Structure 1
Amino acid sequence: MSVLNGIAVPHPPLIVPNVGRGEEKKIENITSAMEEAAQKIVEAKPDTVVIISPHAPSYYDYIQLSKGAYGEGDLAQFNDPYDRFRIPYDQELVDAIESICMENGIPAGTLGKQDGSLDHGTMVPLYFLKSLAPETKFVRIGLGGPNNKVHYQVGQAIQEAAQKLGRKVSIVASGDLSHCQKAGTHYGYRPEGPKYDEKIMEILGDGDFLRLLEVSEEDAEKAMVCGQKSFCILAGALDGLSVDAKALAHSAEFGVGYGVATFTDPKEDLDRHFLIMAEAQDRNAYEERIKKEDAYVKLARDTINDLIHENELVIPSASLPSEMLEERAGVFVSIHKNGELRGCIGTTEPTEANVATEIVRNALAASMRDPRFPAIQPWELEELEINVDVLGKPEIIEDESQLDVKKYGVIVSKNGKRGLLLPDLEGVDTITKQVSIAKQKAGLLTDEPGCTLERFEVVRHV
């Protein structure tokens, strides 16, 4: 096998004695487990160790591989002037992984800033790998904005590149678990924290990488996790292989979850191609979801999909409902992902020949030109939730008593400045708050007097 084994480990700097200065003794079970896990890699005698770190350079739309002759760093920022690290990079393997990613449209490679410095997510595992043969080389990979499945694909590319070059590689997935395990600690307590850790340790202990891919980014964010995508790359590198999976230890002593697991003795297993299964599940769920969308939302989604997949603009079909082709109105297209706003652009008055072309215009702008967000990427498309709001004609009102945050949107204007807020928005539950936000959007003070108020109704399509 080109992939010899893999380990999932945390990276608390205090586990290094020169940093912890006695505090590390409080998590001796983690220290012992990391020593055991590291020994598995040392004994396997890999040509190259791939280390995946959440604290390596990170980009929203890209997963970076470090390039160059070597990387080096120290733990001085953690008041440890003694522990220093210098690792030679396997440039040939880096090039092979990047080439495979480019061929397969995976947003990963060596683009971006490269300064050769190592991060603590890399150096803490290196501390436990000091016994590796001196000729061992390394590949360092960061994480990025792409979803679990894209990170899994990077792992697959590692396996393929290693096979092509005849490299024997071991994988180190560096990553802490939930950061919200205890009240009174830096990140505090959330119930999602312990629940996540229990679930992920069970998944890692079972080697159930399909369940790993099914853990939503929303759940991981609520639990304040940094390691999940590291584990997905590790899982991808073991794609199509059965492994002896063992969860060795877990601790939340300092309010952050630390977990250690090993994956050894890989053997070919055609039933463990988990990305194929996950993509089929996600595709079925996506198709069921879009079946419920009406013509307005379907047109917005088709516009976004065709633009990003094919770089083509949708031309509204004559088969659309007549009101979409005959009526004119302002339209807002709102895009959400994992419950968070991902883009929203609209027009308060009609600017196009009909509602259909208004939707096309604003769907394009919301997905690519909202200045608050980067452009939507291909790997996000099936995760998007899209709303289309068709605005009624605004009417001037005398005062705020004529508003209703659930029923009416509001337009606030003064001296050529104009701000709009849609109705029935999450977190906007009072008229005062609705008007205040609209004033801010207009560039006015929240208590600005003498503003003109308009209200409008909205037909929301979901």
Structure 2
Amino acid sequence: MPVLSCIKLSDDERRALLDLVWQVLEQALAGRGFQLPNAPQSETLSQPAASFVTLHHNGQLRGCIGSLSADEALWKNVCHNAYASGFKDARFAPLTVQDKAGLSVEVSVLSTFTPVENLGEVELLQRLRPAIDGLLLEDQRHRAVFLPSVWQALPEPDQFVAALKAKGGWPPGYWSKDIDIHLFATTVISDNAGSV
């Protein structure tokens, strides 16, 4: 199976993305809503790419929002998703200034999606590479995606796919030849130490 390639980021570009996330969060926590920072001086960060931004507070998930379409510059996509993760994720209350001390950021830059022939769920379970593959499943009525980082919580392919199907609203044990399968990889940038 071919390696799924992501945008190659230098250490400076990785730091720049984290800085942008923190600028967005700081502005919003100061009551200024969403403020797009100045564009970084990087051709790579100006390439169209999709991303997810995940926030943790004291090690617990605090927000995770992303996009699947590479329709804007990576740095802008990361900024929009950072704000949405902190203030628009319906599973959590918006961030407050008190949350800042224990907050950590993880940016996942997505590769292009590779379609995989649907030869059944058993074949998919055999094909998946734990800790490497991200997975998107969709049909006419359902859609769900798991980043490769989800393997940390669901290390077995059967657990991973079952939880993804549940997230997408498919009934337990359900499979259909109409489900479209896409694999992808991510480049992950994190600042586990919290605010810079």
**Highest CA radius of gyration, 1 or 2?**
1
Which of these residues, 317, 329, 332, is aligned with residue 52 of structure 2? Answer: 332
| Alpha-carbon distance in structure 2 between the residues aligned to 1:320 and 1:429 | 39
Structure-to-structure mapping, 1:296-315, within 5 angstroms:
296-315=17-36
Which of these residues, 184, 189, 193, is aligned with residue 456 of structure 1? Answer: 184
Counterpart of 1:324 in structure 2: which amino acid? L
| Contact 1:410/1:434 (<8 A) preserved | no
Which of these residues, 379, 382, 407, is aligned with residue 98 of structure 2? Answer: 379
Which of these residues, 79, 86, 94, is aligned with residue 367 of structure 1? Answer: 86
Aligned length: 168
User: Secondary structure of 1:319's partner?
Assistant: coil
Counterpart of 1:457 in structure 2: which amino acid? A
TM-score, with normalisation over the residues of structure 1?
0.35
| Alpha-carbon distance in structure 1 between the residues aligned to 2:154 and 2:143 | 19
TM-score, with normalisation over the residues of structure 2?
0.79
| Alpha-carbon distance in structure 1 between the residues aligned to 2:50 and 2:168 | 18
Q: Deviations over 1:147-190 (max 9, x none)?
A: xxxxxxxxxxxxxxxxxxxxxxxxxxxxxxxxxxxxxxxxxxxx
Cα 1:391–1:335 change in 2 (3 A) is same
Deviation at 1:331, TM superposition (A): 0.8
Q: Deviations over 1:113-133 (max 9, x none)?
A: xxxxxxxxxxxxxxxxxxxxx
| Contact 1:405/1:428 (<8 A) preserved | no
Deviation at 1:310, TM superposition (A): 4.2
Higher helix residue share:
1
User: Secondary structure of 1:341's partner?
Assistant: strand
Structure-to-structure mapping, 1:76-95, within 5 angstroms:
none
Counterpart of 2:189 in structure 1: which amino acid? H
Which consecutive segments of 4 or more residues in structure 1 shift more than 4 A?
A: none
Counterpart of 1:321 in structure 2: which amino acid? S
Q: Deviations over 1:11-52 (max 9, x none)?
A: xxxxxxxxxxxxxxxxxxxxxxxxxxxxxxxxxxxxxxxxxx
Cα 1:459–1:446 change in 2 (3 A) is farther
| Contact 2:24/2:37 (<8 A) preserved | no
Counterpart of 2:139 in structure 1: which amino acid? K
| Alpha-carbon distance in structure 1 between the residues aligned to 2:104 and 2:54 | 8
Counterpart of 1:395 in structure 2: which amino acid? T
Counterpart of 2:128 in structure 1: which amino acid? L
Q: Name the structure 2 match of 1:348.
A: 68
| Alpha-carbon distance in structure 2 between the residues aligned to 1:455 and 1:393 | 9
Q: Name the structure 2 match of 1:434.
A: 160
| Unaligned runs of at least 5 residues, structure 2 | 1-13, 118-122, 191-196
| Contact 2:139/2:180 (<8 A) preserved | yes
Give me the identity figure in percent: 22
| 1:410 and 2:135 are equivalent in the alignment | yes
Structure-to-structure mapping, 1:46-445, within 5 angstroms:
294-325=15-46, 327-351=47-71, 353-398=72-117, 399-400=123-124, 401-425=126-150, 426-445=152-171
| Contact 2:23/2:37 (<8 A) preserved | no
